[in-house]
Amino acid sequence: MAQPMISKSAALLINLTRFGDLLQSQPLIDELHAQGKDVHLLHLENFSGALSLLRHVKHAWPLPGARLMADMDKDWRTATARLLNFAHDIRETARPNCVINLTSTLPARLLAGILSDDIAAIRGFCLDREGFGRNNGIWASFLNGTTANRLSAPFNLVDMFRMVGNPESVNDAAHPPRLQLATPSAISTDRAQTYLADAPSGTRGYVCMQLGASEIRRQWPARNFASVGDRLWRERQLCPVLLGSPAETELGRDYMEAAHGPCINTIGKTDLETLAALVQRSRMLITNDTGTMHLAAGMNVPCLALFLATAQPCDTGPYLPGCCCLEPALPCHPCPYNKPCPNNLACVTRISPRSAGDLALSRLHKGHWNADTLSAIEREARIWITDRDSQGFAIVRRLSALPPDDRSLWLTQQRIFWRQLLDDMSGSLSPYPTDTGKTSTPQHTLAADYSDTFVQRIGEALSQAESLLGMLSEQCHLIGRSAKAGQLLLRNCERLQSVLDACPELRSLGGFWRELRQERGDRIDALLDLTILLHRHISQWRHFFHFGM
């Protein structure tokens, strides 16, 4: 049977994650479109309302997960037939020559294989022929191995999506990628204006507030939002507009009980496009780490965002330069995943309404976030401003009146290490910086700028890793010539894994090592190349930063 003709310029993008992550696919979609590709999208059915906000998507398919699960309960054969027919319709319509899967779950990997049908190339996450997880592309291995180890994963998710889905991405600081969403329709804009018409007389503008978050422990208290909202009305006559889903209705009531000034409560009353129109009409969004934050970034609306519990701005912050991100100034932040808080959620109340209000009013009145009370605010919060690096990647930089802490310095240095390593493995290496002296650029920070305990811990871990990688390289050469070489190789692979996993700042490297050695487990030559490359980079890195010397 003759194979169907396949378009040379069609890409099928799989993103089966949350609303905010779906919006963060837009820069990747833009790049694929600019290369002349027709972009098709497979997404979760409950986020279909976001499609009107995405640009350059030729066709989209909502995954009917609820119906498939209901069919599975009745008869697995019916569910399988429905899924295969669904996949067949997508293949016949899109005719992709490339399937890009940004979701690492097993169901998404299975779908990537079904939709490629051994004809289209797969980028990102898939399965091998034996049914084991496989990552196509070095950035996919990085993303999959570091997701749960975010203390040392310093790249914004948008840029990771771009590099996973489009290895030809051009790093151009003069023309950096943007998160630019579609303009809401006239109907949605009219709906938004109807809500805003309820503002009291004398209103000079609006500030939107997103009270909810994906977890309760990541929500700043509604009474704190109310305190900031009252101050914005009192000092600037800016009317707060409350945003949220129907599940967050109670938070709106809590806000209104605590507030003394006016507000417009739209919680549970808007679709996603009307939500976008409300954000677009506002001067600022004050929010937790939410999908609405990414929506505001895509509407070019500045954000004041609070990152509590497990949330941190270096990887999930808004993809828009000039936004302000606040983290509680606590040594325990950010929390590790899937562990109870030992400190009674102290981070939730650490940042005061006064501090958030000072920053918001500084931006609204003076055009910058550098409030007069900066020193006092930084006793409560680490203040980060979103920006771009010299290669156009999103970064966050400290707005600081205080000396930087170990974690802030480490995140900055991690960008150097990972870009060097990943660029080397993808064939586009640029040299390490040669200036090891003190400069105004924080990337040149040396070990002397860290605490002694930090330097000792990191230095010991890097020295052990360097030594073990050297031994692994020697043992790879001995495989086949010595009966004990294989046993020693496996033992030292596990020892290296333990060293990296035991150091919180190196656990991302540990996850990356786990991914790569499993992919190369049956190919000694590939494992040898990996150990040599990692040994070189860790050695250069340790010496450049003077750790362990």
Q: At what angle do helices 272-280 and 186-196 cross, to 10 degrees?
A: 60
The percentage of the chain sitting over the pLDDT mark of 70, rounded to a whole number, equals 91
Query: Taking 90 as the threshold, does the pLDDT of residue 128 lie above it?
Result: no
Task: Centre a 10 Å sphere on the Cβ of residue 275 and count the other Cβ atoms it contains.
Answer: 27
* DSSP secondary structure code for residue 517 in this structure: H
Which of residues 367, 402, 437 is at a domain's end? 402
**Pairing verdict, β 205-210 and 238-243:** parallel
Q: What is the pLDDT of residue 151?
A: 61
Same domain? 133 vs 254: no
Average per-residue pLDDT for the chain: 88
Domain that includes residue 193, residue range = 186-402
**Inter-residue contact 382 to 326 (CB < 8 Å):** yes
How many whole angstroms separate alpha carbon 173 and alpha carbon 154?
A: 18
Q: 311 and 232 in one domain? A: yes
* Same domain, residue pair 45 and 126: yes
End-to-end CA distance of the chain: 66
Regarding whether 430 and 390 lie in a shared domain, the answer is no
In a domain, 171, yes or no: no
Alpha carbons 504 and 507: distance in angstroms, whole number: 5
Evaluate whether residue 466 is within a structural domain.
yes
Choose one of 402, 437, 463: the last residue of a domain.
Answer: 402
**Alpha carbons 196 and 282: distance in angstroms, whole number:** 10
The two three-digit tokens of residue 12, written as one number? 């099928």
Angle (CA) 76 82 88, round 5°: 135
CATH number at residue 106: 3.40.50.2000
- 68 part of a folded domain: yes
By the 8 A CB rule, do 390 and 416 touch? no
* 435 and 460 share one domain: yes
Q: In this structure, is residue 379 part of a structural domain? A: yes
In a domain, 263, yes or no: yes
Reduced to 3 states, what is the DSSP secondary structure of residue 166?
Answer: coil
* 417 and 549 inside one domain: yes
Residues 142 and 15 in one domain: yes
* 345, 379, 402 - which closes a domain: 402
> Are 206 and 299 contained in the same domain?
yes
Return d(Cα 355, Cα 352) in angstroms, integer.
5
208 lies in the same domain as 317: yes
In order of 7, 229, 514, the CA distances from 10 in angstroms are 6, 47, 33
- The model's pLDDT over 232-248, given as tens digits with 9 standing for 90+, comes to 999 999 999 999 999 99
Contact between 143 and 9 under an 8 Å Cβ cutoff? The reply is no
pTM of the full structure: 0.91
Within-domain flag for 33: yes
- Indicate the burial class of 225 (C-beta count within 10 angstroms; 0-12, 13-18, 19 or more): buried
User: Tell me: the pLDDT tens digits for 329-365?
Assistant: 998 888 877 788 888 889 999 999 999 999 999 999 9
Shared domain check, 340 and 373: yes
**Residues 47, 134 contacting (CB under 8 angstroms):** no
DSSP code of 482?
B
Cα(519)–Cα(371) distance, rounded to whole angstroms?
A: 50
Please state the rounded mean pLDDT for residues 378-388.
95
Are residues 201 and 249 part of one domain? yes
pLDDT tens string 217-236? 999 999 999 999 999 999 99
Buried b (16+ CB within 10 A) or exposed e, 299-331: bebbbbbbbbbbbbbbbbbbbbeebbbbbbbee
- Residue 174 domain-assigned (yes or no): no
pLDDT(398) > 50? yes
Q: What is the domain count for the chain?
A: 3
* 489 inside domain: yes
